[in-house]
Amino acid sequence: MDGSKNDTSLALDALRAIAAQMVCIGHGISFFLPELRQSGLPLPQNVGVLLFFVLSGFLISYTLLEKSRNPSYTFLQFFIDRAARIYSALVPCLLLVVLVDTGTIWLIGDRVLEGSRSPTIFLANLLMIETYRGPLEHLSLLRWPIIGSASPLWTLVIEWHIYLFVGALFFIGATPARATVLIPIAIIFGQIPLHYMFGALQEDNGLGRSLFTLWLAGAYSYVVLRSVALQSRTLGALLAVGSIVAYVATTRAYLEYKPITYPFLVLFVLGVVVATQPGRIVASPWPAKIVRFFAGYSFTLYLIHHTLMYPAFLLWKDGGWLIFIPAVLVANVVAAVVATYTESRHKQLAQWLQRRISRIQFFVRGEPGIRIRDAQ
């Protein structure tokens, strides 16, 4: 996925940006244009979430397999990279959620928000243990709701636990000497992903069903492409177009979380990758700049759009297009501004964390720790 040789990296960034916009627009439709959902077509917000999981599996598989070629790449470095990527956006977004929700309660009033706000709920969301599903869900310690209006956070919990579970398993195989440390991590963080092999967030309507299975399919698709090395624009384009047409034709609204439809989304991403592997298509730098711009704040947009739209929904839920368009635009503008100082600097945060941990390792064990040049 070398950006100097082909457009695959750019295409995946474009898919990431599109997925975030689908979730944002889909929730905007649910808030302000609910009549559009009667078309029977798949709901954009659900398709966007599913696409995120396919892309995540594909990219994490790429990261682990390619970076592990360097013998100095460890689970600790993987953890730092993932933590910096997630928390660079999560922390400021949680603070923004608290700020916006507080204003909503004071100015408009909403009992739903009032019942899901407390320091302990904030901490649970910060640690990403809210909406826990697994063998210990009967414990009150793990029964935490999503904070306020930040409803998209339920998927982030699943993603985070998948990262650490899969990462731990990978490095148990790669470095068996570290198994005594990594096995407990796999046991702790494997509970939520294993539930989502076949289970759901809400069993009554199947919301979130088999998301880990979908993630694994995305991860395995990279392994397949790495082995077979398919490079055909025609084949890739046919696969991408054919699979998305088949998906739309077979998937109905509110039934997006049926695993039988997931292969079409995986094949779609595979098709895009295969079509963009042979070489560069986009010669001008401007399309790349546009894609990188929208992809650069996609995670922040995903986290905060619902919170930003919710007050408008309480005030003007019958506003239709007149409210829908400004709401989507405001969500994008705010996300882009916030991400400029947070999400877009996740690599700098990772490097800062690596330096601090290296110093701790040196003082505690007299070891040089992580070498920054190896971790980049």
DSSP string, 169-229: HHHHHH-GGGHHHHHHHHHHHTHHHHHTTT--SBTTTTBTTTHHHHHHHHHHHHHHHHHH-
User: Would you state the pLDDT for residue 373?
Assistant: 39
User: Would you state the pLDDT for residue 2?
Assistant: 60
Rounded distance, CA 135 to CA 133, Å?
7
Among 120, 121, 101, CA closest to 112: 101
Residues 217-239: b if buried by 16+ CB within 10 A, e if exposed:
bbbebbeebeeeebbeeeebeeb
Rounded distance, CA 274 to CA 233, Å?
7
The CA-atom distances, in angstroms, between 213 and each of 53, 64, 225, 281 are 9, 18, 18, 33
User: Would you state the pLDDT for residue 365?
Assistant: 66
94 CB neighbour count, 10 Å cutoff = 21
The pLDDT tens digits for 143-158 are 999 999 999 999 999 9
User: Would you state the pLDDT for residue 229?
Assistant: 73
Among 128, 165, 166, 162, CA closest to 144: 128
Check if the beta carbon of residue 30 is closer than 8 Å to that of residue 304: no
The pLDDT tens digits for 156-194 are 999 999 999 999 999 999 999 999 999 999 999 999 999
Chain position carrying tokens 């992903």:
193
What does pLDDT average to over the chain?
93
The torsion angle over the Cα atoms of residues 286, 288, 289 and 293, rounded to 10 degrees, is 140
Quick check: 215 pLDDT over 70?
Answer: yes
Residues 112-121: b if buried by 16+ CB within 10 A, e if exposed:
ebeebbeeeb
User: Would you state the pLDDT for residue 376?
Assistant: 39
The pLDDT tens digits for 5-44 are 788 999 999 999 999 999 999 999 999 999 999 889 999 9
User: Would you state the pLDDT for residue 285?
Assistant: 86
User: Would you state the pLDDT for residue 374?
Assistant: 41
Rounded distance, CA 158 to CA 166, Å?
12
- pLDDT class of 199 with cuts at 50, 70, 90: very high
User: Would you state the pLDDT for residue 368?
Assistant: 55
Alpha carbons within 13 A on the beta-carbon side of 58? 28
| 3 state DSSP class of 59 | helix
The pLDDT tens digits for 37-82 are 988 999 999 999 999 999 999 999 999 999 999 988 999 999 999 9
User: Would you state the pLDDT for residue 4?
Assistant: 60
Written as six digits, the tokens of 375 are 């971790």
The CA-atom distances, in angstroms, between 353 and each of 15, 76, 80, 92 are 29, 11, 7, 17
User: Would you state the pLDDT for residue 367?
Assistant: 55
Check if the beta carbon of residue 59 is closer than 8 Å to that of residue 110: no
User: Would you state the pLDDT for residue 295?
Assistant: 97
| 3 state DSSP class of 231 | coil
55 CB neighbour count, 10 Å cutoff = 20
Rounded distance, CA 169 to CA 180, Å?
12
User: Would you state the pLDDT for residue 307?
Assistant: 98
| 3 state DSSP class of 202 | strand
- pLDDT class of 372 with cuts at 50, 70, 90: very low
Give this prediction's pTM: 0.93
Rounded distance, CA 197 to CA 161, Å?
13
Check if the beta carbon of residue 256 is closer than 8 Å to that of residue 215: no
The pLDDT tens digits for 223-251 are 999 888 777 889 999 999 999 999 999 99
Bridge partner residues of 207 (DSSP): 202
The pLDDT tens digits for 109-119 are 888 898 899 99
The pLDDT tens digits for 241-284 are 999 999 999 999 999 999 999 999 999 999 999 999 887 777 77
User: Would you state the pLDDT for residue 371?
Assistant: 46
Rounded distance, CA 59 to CA 357, Å?
25
| 3 state DSSP class of 82 | helix
Task: Name the residue type at position 185.
Answer: I
181 CB neighbour count, 10 Å cutoff = 14
- The DSSP symbol for 116 reads T
